[in-house]
Amino acid sequence: MLEAPKFTGIIGLNNHHDNFDLSQGFYHKLGEGSNMSIDSFGSLPMTDGGGSVAMSVDNSSVGSNGSHTLFLKHQGRVNNSYSIAQSVNRGRVAHGLSDDALAQALMDPRVQTEGLDNFDEWTLDLRRLNMGPAFAQGAFGKLYRGTYNGEDVAIKLLERPENDLERAQLMEQQFQQEVMMLATLRHPNIVRFIGACRKPMVWCIVTEYAKGGSVRQFLIKRQNRAVPLKLAVKQALDVARGMEYVHGLSLIHRDLKSDNLLISADRSIKVADFGVARIEVQTEGMTPETGTYRWMAPEMIQHRPYTQKVDVYSFGIVLWELITGMLPFQNMTAVQAAFAVVNKGVRPIIPNDCLPVLCEIMTRCWDGNPNIRPHFTEVVRMLEIAETEIMTTVRKARFRCCIGQPMTMD
């Protein structure tokens, strides 16, 4: 597994790769020569400018084989909302993908589809899957847009390494983990699972397609302009309610960030990318080399035991993003930010005109002591209070972020 630097001592701060992340690997958008790192491109736009799937394609955040992960005994069900009388289109690869070996390997009718272990009922019928063009790729996979039974979907394909058994086992573990998680979760603020399948050389996961892209894409488009306070709190509530549900099932996301929050057609927010999520058990076997430094709790950076409260920390950073529209620690590299968080107690600066209740949520969520951080049930309650206050007293308020750099404080 590709490991992150260990923050057990002094680390070098002369790394000028602004978007350094755990795998030190890079995505690139197809058709372009430039490289973009996971930290800035964890959620990738479609070539037509719309939508996102926020799914890692190079397994940069997967846990190690030593992780003591438990699998839920879940009796899933197939979403048979379509009519039996509907015509069934044979699965096909869209025009222009004839040279795409990964897509061809998936759609080849001569190769039998393998089962999903305890989740066979979620196996895709490839005759109903139409694959559009790939819009991004990593070292071991690609992201596509397509349709399944006529519905727009996001398609993640992972290629099984032929000559690296250890990595193949690691990717198989992540695939099973993500299928288990997605098949288990049912909530309006969690990305909806369509199905999955695997063949000898390729794994496939299909989810609903988010037309609005990711929250990070939304904030980038605003170019640090004022964010409507009512919208920021509504989006934060969607995230908090989704995470309250996740934690209620004794699960930990471990990579909560704006790249992994998708905006649906009705503008609601859906939490996505459960490839590194885990069931909360004794944490001695849980790997800390997951997540993304700018959003990562200090105990994970330091490789200390952790609980669900790492997600609460990440939410505090996300709430700051929603309020300010800015990238956390934007004046630092990701490694520098991690060093500052752990060794200097640095956190983003909260705007002076921030509502007191929102200020309290952020400061409590990103407290260095996990025991001080609230549970998401309390976060939801506090955000509902903030929403009421906004509606009754500051209906037209907006945050105007005019704070100069650096955007951090001790």
Number of Cβ within 10 Å of residue 204's Cβ equals: 26
3-state secondary structure of 118: helix
Which one, of 249, 226, 229, 261, lies nearest residue 394 by Cα? 229
- Residue 37: what are its φ and ψ, rounded to 5°? -85, 170
- Burial of residue 66 (number of CB atoms within 10 Å: 0-12, 13-18, 19+): exposed
> What does the radius of gyration of the chain's CA atoms come to, in whole angstroms?
21
Per annotation, catalytic residue among 255, 259, 273, 367 = 255
Number of Cβ within 10 Å of residue 305's Cβ equals: 12
Furthest C-alpha separation in the chain: 66
Contact between 351 and 323 under an 8 Å Cβ cutoff? The reply is yes
Contact between 195 and 112 under an 8 Å Cβ cutoff? The reply is no
Which one, of 272, 274, 322, lies nearest residue 53 by Cα? 272
- Residue 402: what are its φ and ψ, rounded to 5°? -125, 25
Rounded Cα distance between 400 and 226, Å, is 5
Q: Can 255 be counted among the known catalytic residues? A: yes
Rounded Cα distance between 287 and 278, Å, is 10
**CB-facing half-sphere around the CA of 167: CA atoms within 13 A:** 16
Catalytic residues: 255
